Amino acid sequence: MMKLSEVPKRVKNFPQGRAYKRLRKILFGMKFTDGLFYKVSVYALLISLSYIYLYPVLYMVTGSFMTMEDIIDVAVQWIPSSLNFVNYQIVFSEIGYFSTLFDAVYLAIVPAISATVSAALVGYGFAKFDFPFKKLLFILMIMTFIVPPQITMLPMFRMFSQYNLLGSIRAFVYPAILSNGLNAAIFILIFFQFFRMVPKSLIESAELDGANAFTIFIRIIIPLAVPSIIIVFLFSFVWYYNETYLSGLYLRGSDLLSLPLRIDQYISNFTSIYPEGSPARERMQAVKLAGNVLTLLPLLTLYFFTQRYFVESIDRTGITGE
């Protein structure tokens, strides 16, 4: 007579038991993370999140090729009836895309370089030097990121007006030089985190060789900080390039405008001529979408050529993007 203790062992040898084990191994794997169920769940989550982010981009790209008839026709939702490049021609000819793009890059690259240099100096000072009220100043530096720029907008505007900085790129360059530009606290934290990992013995050996603080920073620290410099410059460039609120405030009345502001200016001047609900006003929505695509294109090109350096910089500096 078969004992009860032998039942599980014999059941495992049945074909149904082996099929169950094989199915469970396929679904859940050996450590659950290598199973089919886990992989399907992860890919489903990633596809859902990517759709949330890609939906506006897809809508912008498809809408930029639509004609006036496609915009009015409620049956046309995503795919235009034909490829229409008139909207892009308007952006190139009427708005002056290349000259405006040059101004936008100029408005972004000069403050970005200034912010990178100043953030490196301040971050190195906080990481490697001891001075009075160091912790208090560090906390105040962090608070500059917590405070929204809308709160400091009015006093900054009045101060720039007193010093004749309005309508000039100096309204962005001078604060960047003084480590008070757009999101300067984040850049200082990136350099601060990186410089803390530099061995102290490396700096002490350079001091024994007779190098002063400035020589150590230029010849030793800066070559080591190339990953941090790349990521800070890229972030700063993108933020200054996309900035519209402060640019519209500080550059009011100036011919030097960013690309999004120039497109909005043209759209508002054109639509002010026509009454609400006219086909011409509807047409300008497609032109604005085409302008947004062309505004995004330089950033995508920049990221395409610097993707490898960007990913390596994030890995080596520990920035998660949160």
Number of domains in the chain: 2
From 32, 64, 96, the end of a domain falls on 64
Is there a single domain that holds both residue 39 and residue 156? no
Q: How many CB atoms lie within 10 A of CB 234?
A: 19
The pTM of the full predicted model, rounded to 2 decimals, is 0.77
Please check whether residues 114 and 255 belong to one and the same domain: yes
Domain that holds residue 251: 88-317
Are 102 and 205 in the same domain? yes
Distance of CA 25 to the CA centre of its chain: 41
Q: In this structure, what CATH number is given to the domain that contains residue 299? A: 1.10.3720.10
In a domain, 307, yes or no: yes
Residue 74 lies in a domain: no
40 and 117 share a domain?
A: no
Q: Are 105 and 256 in contact (CB under 8 A)?
A: no
Judgement on whether residues 25 and 159 belong to the same structural domain of the protein:
no
- Cα 32 to its chain centre, rounded Å, is 34
**Could you read off the pLDDT tens digit of each residue along the chain, which spans 322 residues?**
445 455 455 544 545 566 767 766 666 666 656 667 777 888 888 888 888 888 888 888 888 888 777 776 666 667 777 777 888 888 888 888 888 889 889 999 999 999 999 999 999 989 888 888 888 999 888 888 888 777 888 888 899 889 888 888 898 999 999 888 888 889 999 899 888 888 888 888 888 888 888 888 888 888 888 888 888 998 899 999 988 888 888 887 777 888 888 888 888 877 777 666 666 676 777 888 888 888 888 888 888 887 776 666 555 554 444 3
